[in-house]
């Protein structure tokens, strides 16, 4: 059994080596550089704070993905609540970033479908690792993947996401 200090050191090491991947994962959810960096920082804090709860150090990486996904979703829900309670809209106050067709297409997917696609194709993770991160069995993860790909193919082939300059 690893001591809490050893687990914390392992988490810190994994955070440092996976920072770029964790940032990209957060960015695909929030599509804003500043928010993505905030998510990674908040996730790192949560991971270090709760590192003693890790039962199997082989799953530290998938545990970190799960924290980033949940923190991203928390931020999106918080922003949605803020928007719904706000009665005045401010023009031009929001940051704008170049959206690509593929990133736009991800918006048609639900949270779990989006996570599977991002982890599989953007981060190159194996299905078993994705299943562990999402706390699903491998069969369910495969079903989510194939259903998501079918939705994306239909959306992209209809041509509704082509941006013209």
* Residue corresponding to tokens 């690893």: 2
Does the predicted model carry a pTM greater than 0.85? no
Query: 9 and 69 share a domain?
Result: yes
Summarised one tens digit per residue, pLDDT across range 114-128 is 888 888 887 788 898
CATH number (domain holding residue 105): 1.10.10.10
Q: Are residues 21 and 88 in the same domain?
A: yes
Burial of 48 (0-12, 13-18, 19+ CB in 10 A): middle
**Residue 76 near residue 84 (C-beta atoms within 8 A):** no
Q: What's the pLDDT band for 165 if we cut at 50, 70, 90?
A: very low
Q: Which residue segment(s) compose the domain that 124 sits in?
A: 98-165
Cα distance between residue 110 and residue 76, in whole Å? 13
**What's the total number of domains in the chain?**
2
Based on the fold, state whether residues 137 and 64 are members of the same structural domain.
no
pLDDT digits (tens, 9 = 90+) for 132-160: 888 889 999 999 999 988 988 888 777 65
Identify whether residues 138 and 89 lie together within a single domain.
no
């Amino acid at each position: 059994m690893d001591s809490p200090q050893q687990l914390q050191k392992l988490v810190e090491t994994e955070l440092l080596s996976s920072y770029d991947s964790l940032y990209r994962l957060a960015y695909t959810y929030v599509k804003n550089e500043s928010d993505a960096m905030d998510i990674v920082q908040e996730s790192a804090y949560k991971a270090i704070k709760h590192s003693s709860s890790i039962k199997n150090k082989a799953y530290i990486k998938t545990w970190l993905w799960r924290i980033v996904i949940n923190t991203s979703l928390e931020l999106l829900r918080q922003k949605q609540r803020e928007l719904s309670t706000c009665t005045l809209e401010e023009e031009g106050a929001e940051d704008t970033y170049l959206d690509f067709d593929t990133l736009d297409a991800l918006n048609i997917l639900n949270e779990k479908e989006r996570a599977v696609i991002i982890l599989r194709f953007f981060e190159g993770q194996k299905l078993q690792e994705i299943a562990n991160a999402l706390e699903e069995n491998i069969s369910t993860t495969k079903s989510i993947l194939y259903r998501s790909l079918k939705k994306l193919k239909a959306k992209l082939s209809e041509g509704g996401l082509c941006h013209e300059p």
